[in-house]
Amino acid sequence: MEQAIDLKAKLATFEGHWQPRTVCDYNGHDVMVAKIQGEYHWHAHPDTDDFFLVLEGEIEIDLEGGRTVRLAPGQMFVVPRGVQHRPRAAKEAHILLIEPTGTPNSGDAATAAPRRVI
């Protein structure tokens, strides 16, 4: 990669929520953007932490035990590996995610969104 990546332009290339798109690889990790709205289901990643950075809009991440983390643009949160969580957004939000390549976004390979590179 020898050019800057315009995340806003990448987000403009697709529609649909909860369908992350990989914009580049970084040391064996996928750097992804996603549009989210509504609630995702409760899940956990047993082998890796889950990194969220809000680019636009606001999101909430419900954590096991009743805690909720609220994030605005420019804020990030890392869900520790193995912790049950549920991201949600009342209105469409855009996020950046970083996960080891091959990590199922749902925590389960059988229900994970396919890897899409843009």
Predicted confidence (pLDDT) per residue in 65-98, tens digit:
999 999 999 999 999 999 999 999 999 999 999 9
Let me know how long the chain is.
Answer: 118
Is the pTM higher than 0.85? yes
pLDDT band for position 53 (cuts 50, 70, 90): very high
Bridge partners (DSSP) of residue 62 are: 68, 86
Is the Cα dihedral 49, 9, 20, 87 positive or negative?
Answer: positive
How confident is the model at residue 103, as a pLDDT?
Answer: 77
| pLDDT tens-digit readout, 6-47 | 999 999 999 999 999 999 999 999 999 999 999 999 999 998
What is the CATH superfamily name and number for domain 7-100?
Answer: Jelly Rolls (2.60.120.10)
